Amino acid sequence: MEALVKAPRQSPRRRVSRIALGVWIPLAMIGTWVLVSRHQACSYACVSPSTLGRGFVEVIATGELPSALAGTFEKTLLALCLGAPAGLLVGGALGASRMIDRAIGPLFHAFRQVPFLGLAPLMALWFGTGRLAQVILTVLAVVYPVVLSTYEGIRAIDPKYLEVARVMKLGNDQILAAVTVPAVAPYVYAGVSHAIPFAWIATVGGELLLPSGVGIGTMMATSEAGGRLDLVLVCTLTVAAASLCVDRALVRVGRRMMLWRDDASNRL
């Protein structure tokens, strides 16, 4: 019989102490913010919470903030849909073929040392400052981690598994389904997990450097040019909140997708 081991429950006192430990720093920062914003000399550089609240209500009422957030999400999702499969194919080719690795591996590793936001001026010259340049910039940010993770996953496959598969006279398709995909899946998931925040950063950064169209970064650049510090802070806090939600959702999805590994371990 399998023994079910339950994690010990935390006492209410310890749970409250953990919550308080994570809350006191934000509360201290908010208190400092309120005190600093009351000084006339700092009123421009540090807007008051009430001014920030009025700015937030303003951009919500006009629909500017939801529209900008939706535009940034849409570009990020498009870049992920294009960059993740491309990274998977390139990483798979580099990991599966030593000849391809020797041919294009050095070029890829040299090119990825260039910061992707540093390519913004080049993208602007080649593709303009519109949506296309922003998406291409984000696609490059997605491709790098997916390629590296897929490459490492294929190279980490134990040769003994491949030998057993050949002894059992499995075909290439069967080896791919029974050995390669299960072994590489955790690495691919890790690569996509790293690619999502990179995609979000690249999209917002691209909108800041190439301010055109609809997006949070474009809204931040426009607000900064108009001297609206309250709207700049609204955009910054919105980006932080959206990034936190995406991160939490990614963790939950990852736990569900990797349940098969726990099941397999319990059968051993």
Residue 8 has pLDDT above 70, yes or no: no
Phi then psi for 210, rounded to 5 degrees? Answer: -125, 70
Please identify which residue in the block is written with the tokens 């994690």.
Answer: 7
122 confidence band (pLDDT: 50, 70, 90): confident
Q: Which of 49-58, 108-117, 135-144 has the highest mean pLDDT?
A: 135-144
Q: Distance between CA atoms of 183 and 89, rounded to whole angstroms? A: 16
In CATH, what class is 69-267? mainly alpha
Please identify which residue in the block is written with the tokens 């995406």.
Answer: 246
- What is the average pLDDT across 98-124? 82
pLDDT attached to residue 41: 60
Residue 138 has pLDDT above 70, yes or no: yes
> Residue 193, class by beta-carbon neighbours within 10 Å (0-12 exposed, 13-18 middle, 19+ buried)?
middle
Stronger pLDDT, 247 or 72, i.e. the higher one? 72
Stronger pLDDT, 10 or 223, i.e. the higher one? 223
Q: Distance between CA atoms of 244 and 198, rounded to whole angstroms? A: 14
Helix axes 64-96, 229-257, angle to 10 degrees: 40
Hey, what are 203's tokens? 């999209």
Identity of the residue numbered 227: G
82 confidence band (pLDDT: 50, 70, 90): very high
Identity of the residue numbered 122: L
Domain limits of the chain? 69-267
pLDDT attached to residue 5: 44
Hey, what are 67's tokens? 């529209």
| Number of Cβ atoms within 10 Å of the Cβ of 265 | 8
| Number of Cβ atoms within 10 Å of the Cβ of 123 | 22
Stronger pLDDT, 195 or 167, i.e. the higher one? 195
Q: Single out the residue of 218, 195, 196 nearest to residue 208, CA to CA.
A: 218
